[in-house]
Structure 1
């Protein structure tokens, strides 16, 4: 996290205007800025292959799809649902870089933050929080709460004008952050609007008077250019999942222009850049655009999420990955909550969905070719627990919080666009979908061939966290590791 200013932060969608730009995977822990979009791909993308396709043939087709030479459609994070409450497991190892002059100190109670009674009431009665949480090395530690509280705390309730601006990479995250803000600010009377509002249109001409604005980068830029969003009273600017936006050069340039425009309107504006992960390149860029920021970093070794048991399963053929799922994992998981299976391409998501349903497993899938209604339906069904198994491209690798997820399976190991370089941050975010808020969880990496083995080896070395092998055809070994992860009838 990085903050700058005066006292008191897929994706498949990155913003309608940037749909055709190359998208890139997630990154490390602390400062940066903006990108956004909506997909206009063919609806709905939720079809199943013909009923006559045999499971074995589909599995073999899956195996072949892992070795294509041309780049098939892949998706970046489509950020979604966040934490409902904070769990404080301990401080971990935290590195802080504090500006020379700062008023920031840690608080043990919310009262110490000088918040209004109305805002405190929202924290205690709506959010069910008890006290501020330490910054932690696991997911679900409260980034959304942190910047939402910061925005609400800076608003002058007597001034009916935009005062707080939050920039997000995707429409889904806009919706989520607005939901959290409205819950937290329920008793304050503070008004909020977003670019995801039902009455939103790129041709909007009505001047905005709401006090908090949340939106994707391109739509916010459109509002500012058309002068329907007056930024003269903006006191606080937040970039959520800042690294996702800064990693793309075009969005990084737009971010610099947005910051310059807002600083020109209000030199004292506070800038906050949030992300669970941040690589060194993005970190350096962030430090340039907010050079006097206070910074909080957690070493990557602390981000390996020790509460999640991680394993690799080496499979002779791609079809054996399906066999592991249907014979070795799901039949043995008596205490399995919900499962997310991550794949690399949209076609693999569709094909694996068909195979799993053919084998009798009720599941859903989500990928970037789906329209909004189909995608929202899948997310709602999984959140409600209607479906237990969700197959996803990396659209849901970030920010998607369902507390009952206990198992993550990397059907395809995460790699960058060159198909060779391990996507370290993507791996961290993927496995972090399980074991939320201190709960038990497990992650299985299904690998075929030397290239995928090398990727897992490099991930293991990068995070300094052992990823032991489980033989793909040894039922006793699977029983043992699932027991250790707390996913069988008897906990270890």
Structure 2
């Protein structure tokens, strides 16, 4: 898998994860820094290959991330003989009523909280032999606006059946409220001692990725910037992900770019499961170069060929749309520049509200984002990509 040396998170956390007495761990690390390797190695190291029962469980917020983590597990565990199963909503062709499915005997289970909870409730996924529980994107899994209820139910089921199970909580972001809640939950439910690693928010902004803001006079000019500047130049440097706030924006932008002759694919939560899987596979295989996405893919999606990220809309908090979602912003920009590679981010601003949101993001991370002098100057965009080390 071409590992030469461990990243900082791997160097610090792997001894904590792999060394008895197997303490719980709450760990924060930069996007693209190798967190998945840490917990996959942790899971593989604890399995008794002779025991045909679930011994490691990894919970992820989306099916795409669960599938991606499973791919890493299969690569790293290729010669171990360890068995694994995905616990995600089945597509229509493969659906089996839960009452008819056999009990899970796979040694590692990776899935989404809703499906895992159904399996646990129906007594199809036993917890008696569980040695290690991983929450990937743990801040989202335990936030009130995320999957808190399902996640806590799963934790309680494990504590009841296997009190000494090791718990690993990984994420690139932990807001203060979630950090306090996560720490409390780990202390209250899993009484044993635990380790924690957090990163100061000022240090989270990715140095290998160059961020820019582009002042656009109106909505149409945002589309023109993408079409005539970013994608024209972007074809020379790798793949591009364009983030939008809503499904409607995704459909509108998709139609506009297709009308201009670009081959783009769009992914959002309303698609059928099998369509989502096909779109991701095509993008990962390099068959498509441009992907429009809602925040479904903001977290954890790992594709090393992505060098450009465009924020067509800046991310906002659902409960208060005048406030930016700092964590989602950080996750979005983390799709470029994976594992220290070069990348560029273009934030398209076209209203006072956009500028206010951008200003709040800059203040939060204590990081001034450079401005492209003119939205319709090819030279300015070329210079931006040169500064980012992409041209």
TM-score (norm 2): 0.87
TM-fit CA distance, 1:88: 5.9
TM-fit CA distance, 1:452: 0.4
Higher normalized helix content (fraction of residues) = 2
In the alignment, what sits opposite 1:350? 251
In the TM superposition, what are the counterparts of 1:125-144 in structure 2 within 5 Å?
138-144=30-36
Return 5+ residue gaps in structure 1 as ranges.
Answer: 1-83, 99-103, 115-134
Partner residue of 1:206 out of 84, 102, 115: 102
Return 5+ residue gaps in structure 2 as ranges.
Answer: 21-26, 188-192
In the TM superposition, what are the counterparts of 1:281-320 in structure 2 within 5 Å?
281-291=177-187, 292-320=193-221
Aligned partners of 1:240 and 1:275 also within 8 Å: yes
In the alignment, what sits opposite 2:42? 150
In the alignment, what sits opposite 2:377? 474
Query: 1:160/1:348 Cα in 2 relative to 1: closer, same or farther (>3 Å)?
Result: same
TM-fit CA distance, 1:370: 1.4
Cα-Cα RMSD: 2.7
Higher mean displacement: 301-310 or 191-200: 191-200
Deviations 1:110-130 (A, max 9, x none): xx979xxxxxxxxxxxxxxxx
Aligned partners of 1:87 and 1:437 also within 8 Å: no
Aligned partners of 1:165 and 1:234 also within 8 Å: yes
State yes or no: 1:177 paired with 2:69: yes
Q: How many pairs were matched up?
A: 373
Aligned partners of 1:245 and 1:252 also within 8 Å: yes
TM-fit CA distance, 1:463: 1.1
In the TM superposition, what are the counterparts of 1:445-456 in structure 2 within 5 Å?
445-456=347-358
In the alignment, what sits opposite 2:113? 217
TM-fit CA distance, 1:342: 0.8
SS for the counterpart of 1:207 is: coil
1-structure distance, mates of 2:113, 2:30: 28
Rg comparison, structure with higher value: 1
Aligned partners of 1:346 and 1:367 also within 8 Å: yes
Higher mean displacement: 234-243 or 443-452: 234-243
Query: 1:449/1:88 Cα in 2 relative to 1: closer, same or farther (>3 Å)?
Result: farther
Partner residue of 1:229 out of 125, 142, 145: 125
In the alignment, what sits opposite 1:377? 278
With CA pairs under 8 Å and 6+ residues apart, which has the higher RCO, 1 or 2?
1
In the alignment, what sits opposite 1:51? none
State yes or no: 1:465 paired with 2:367: yes
SS for the counterpart of 1:156 is: coil
Aligned partners of 1:333 and 1:487 also within 8 Å: no
Partner residue of 2:238 out of 323, 331, 337: 337
1-structure distance, mates of 2:4, 2:140: 25
In the alignment, what sits opposite 1:415? 316
2-structure distance, mates of 1:230, 1:334: 49
Deviations 1:343-375 (A, max 9, x none): 111111111111112222221111222112222
Aligned partners of 2:137 and 2:299 also within 8 Å: no
State yes or no: 1:240 paired with 2:128: no
